[in-house]
Structure 1
């Protein structure tokens, strides 16, 4: 499974490489992951095979009114959950576990835009920060994604979901800074909306994931079905317009 491979090759234990508040921290501005061999393994064994499945499916469905794009948090928004949260809507999932802003950018045309969606929902950025990517690089990639969508069709509605809290301290420190950027982009860009989920998914008095949203088996990065209910509640008013 894609998620299992991603978790097996992603180093989430080396906190100094992703702790943006560490005095010795140096952000990573190169393509891929800090561990290039594992990144190549991920691309070969997970990313490309998933894209092949999406290409085959795209040939069948041809169009979709709404397309979700992003990383494992999107990938795990399984079809039955999507059908439950968005009944009667043409919604297609094009998330890939492990995706970063740079890899999503490279596949936007073939995986997402080819379906001529009226609305695109994007959640991306967490894996960039796991790798300690430079914040400016992640921001510029996000802007490039929006530009690519709007160059195809300026009327496409884009919904940027806030990167949600996790149980990883270093991510919970930097992600709110990125979410502020997403919010500002939405406020200043036509046909872009920001969907705030951070506040709804965090503990009341702590910048970490609420207990009732935690997945079992020690998963510190993802949330359970109740978390997708939060997403559904937030998104339905926008997708039903």
Structure 2
């Protein structure tokens, strides 16, 4: 075999293996199937740019009556699984940027705390989300929904309260970024979670819980 042909074949083989490895990595990413379902739900030309995106973890994904609870708005729901903030960053093109939204409502952070991630790291990832979205469209308005007081995760109360406090401060520091406090209204007179707002797993919400969210979000639309 001629030397040049030999090197060319080695070169092609290397990049073929690299492509296979990268493709396998991408397919193996957590939530890839859910992301594919979102793309199938909102194919190109099926939505108007400049609408309103709700995204984040399962509390958004499971908001089945979102368009009924917040009517008369062009809403796109791209919530997925038990996602953390770094995973939303990984899929930011599929969940936010491709829609060129005028407003983005984000609920992440609760799963991060549950998995032991430090509040400081979560805030850095919030900043990264902000920078990517604003660099795509400086006029986009961001709304960070506070962590909710889930009864099944109440042992991490202090971490959630710290995350909410720091997120509020970050929103006050940055432009086009608003903090929506749903924590306080989901507590009873003893400062504990109202269990009547949650389904059996004491993590996800029922209609009463989502009604509180809708009431807090609607003034920002």
1:89 lines up with 2:73 in the alignment: yes
Q: Partners in 2 of 1:237 and 1:169 — Cα distance?
A: 29
Tell me, which stretches of 5 or more residues in structure 2 are unaligned? Answer: 1-26
1:55 lines up with 2:55 in the alignment: no
Q: 1:46: Cα distance to partner? A: 6.3
1:156 lines up with 2:105 in the alignment: no
Does the aligned pair in 2 maintain the 1:126–1:171 contact within 8 Å?
no
Does the aligned pair in 1 maintain the 2:34–2:81 contact within 8 Å?
no
Q: 1:221: Cα distance to partner? A: 1.6
Larger relative CO (CA 8 A, sep 6+): 1 or 2? 1
Q: Deviation above 6 Å: which 4+ runs of structure 1?
A: none
Q: 1:169: Cα distance to partner? A: 2.4
1:122 lines up with 2:99 in the alignment: no
2:171 partner SS:
helix
Q: Partners in 2 of 1:77 and 1:221 — Cα distance?
A: 13
- Correspondent of 1:111 among 92, 95, 102: 95
Q: Partners in 2 of 1:192 and 1:70 — Cα distance?
A: 16
- Correspondent of 2:203 among 218, 221, 236: 221
Q: 1:68 is matched with which residue? A: 54
Q: Partners in 2 of 1:210 and 1:45 — Cα distance?
A: 35
Q: 2:175 is matched with which residue? A: 190
Q: Partners in 2 of 1:119 and 1:193 — Cα distance?
A: 11
Q: Partners in 2 of 1:52 and 1:93 — Cα distance?
A: 14
1:127 partner SS:
helix
Q: Partners in 1 of 2:208 and 2:202 — Cα distance?
A: 15
Q: 1:232 is matched with which residue? A: 214
Q: 1:134: Cα distance to partner? A: 2.0
- Pair member with larger Rg: 2
Does the aligned pair in 1 maintain the 2:195–2:202 contact within 8 Å?
no
1:141 lines up with 2:125 in the alignment: yes
Alignment: residue pair count: 192
Give the structure-1-normalised TM-score.
0.75
Does the aligned pair in 2 maintain the 1:166–1:209 contact within 8 Å?
yes
Does the aligned pair in 2 maintain the 1:58–1:115 contact within 8 Å?
no
Give the structure-2-normalised TM-score.
0.82
Q: Partners in 2 of 1:152 and 1:131 — Cα distance?
A: 30
Does the aligned pair in 2 maintain the 1:50–1:96 contact within 8 Å?
yes
Q: Partners in 1 of 2:220 and 2:126 — Cα distance?
A: 21
Q: Pairwise CA RMSD of aligned residues?
A: 1.6
Q: 1:204: Cα distance to partner? A: 2.1
Q: Partners in 1 of 2:40 and 2:206 — Cα distance?
A: 29
Q: 1:14 is matched with which residue? A: none
- Correspondent of 1:202 among 165, 170, 187: 187
2:91 partner SS:
helix
